[in-house]
Amino acid sequence: TGLLAGLSLGLLAVAPAMAQDDDELAPFFVGIDYTFGNATFFDTQDRTTGICGTEDTSCDRVKYRPNAARINLGLNLHPKFAVQAAYGRGNGEEAGTTNTSTSPQTGTRVALKSFYGVYARASTPLEGFGGLRLGGILGYSSARVEVTPGPGINDGEVVSETVNGPSFGFELSLPIFGSSLFVLDWMSLVDEDRLRISTANAGFRFGFGGGGEDDDDF
């Protein structure tokens, strides 16, 4: 959280110098977000027979909501298409909740230690909504989670696991000044038989670069 606040203040301080005179997107961008994570551990059989078998309430799953901070760096290849890389670090551990009356995971805590990914993003402005843009995201992510068992579980041994796979999501962005945007997005980072990680993210994206005569047609 301290890192997030420091970076946000730094970016806000230099934003006027980076912002363009018009509302078009700058060639490059840097962003900072707060990430609300959602990590769900499933019983393998539940996932292989359908996400929760035949009864949603019968699915043996445990949910954790670890949070993180995320940095994005990217390139606008076209006003409606961009590529970006993202890196995030977790912000502590979270206890789990389960929909079963008894759970072997009682007292277990999970931390989203780090995650990163590369993505392509297509977006378009929505007419009549003050420059609001709607976009879709597709790419590849890797995430590392650390599980701290509760009392009497697995001899208390901390387990670290890295998962990776294709990612997808969508975003809403709103111009705030120049080429700077306020951004909300949701992403499915990884979805495997035993573990699904998704994130909801809120933050700012600051455009920079260009601004010369040669960039008028960008």
Question: In angstroms, what CA-CA distances link 49 with 59, 101, 106?
Answer: 10, 22, 25
| Rg of the chain in Å (alpha carbons) | 20
Name the residue type at position 2. G
pLDDT-derived band at 84 (thresholds 50, 70, 90) equals: very high
CA distance 197 to 133: 25
132 secondary structure, DSSP code: -
CA distance 138 to 87: 16
Is the Cα dihedral 108, 91, 73, 127 positive or negative?
positive
Give the mean pLDDT of the chain. Answer: 77
What pLDDT score was predicted for residue 149? 74
- The region of weakest confidence among 9-23, 29-43, 147-161, 163-177 is 9-23
Tens of pLDDT, residues 20-73: 333 467 899 999 999 998 888 876 555 555 445 444 444 556 788 888 999 999
Strands (E), the chain: 28-42, 51-54, 61-64, 67-78, 81-90, 93-95, 97-98, 109-125, 133-148, 159-177, 180-191, 195-208
More confident call, 120 vs 161: 120
Percent of the chain exceeding pLDDT 70 equals 68
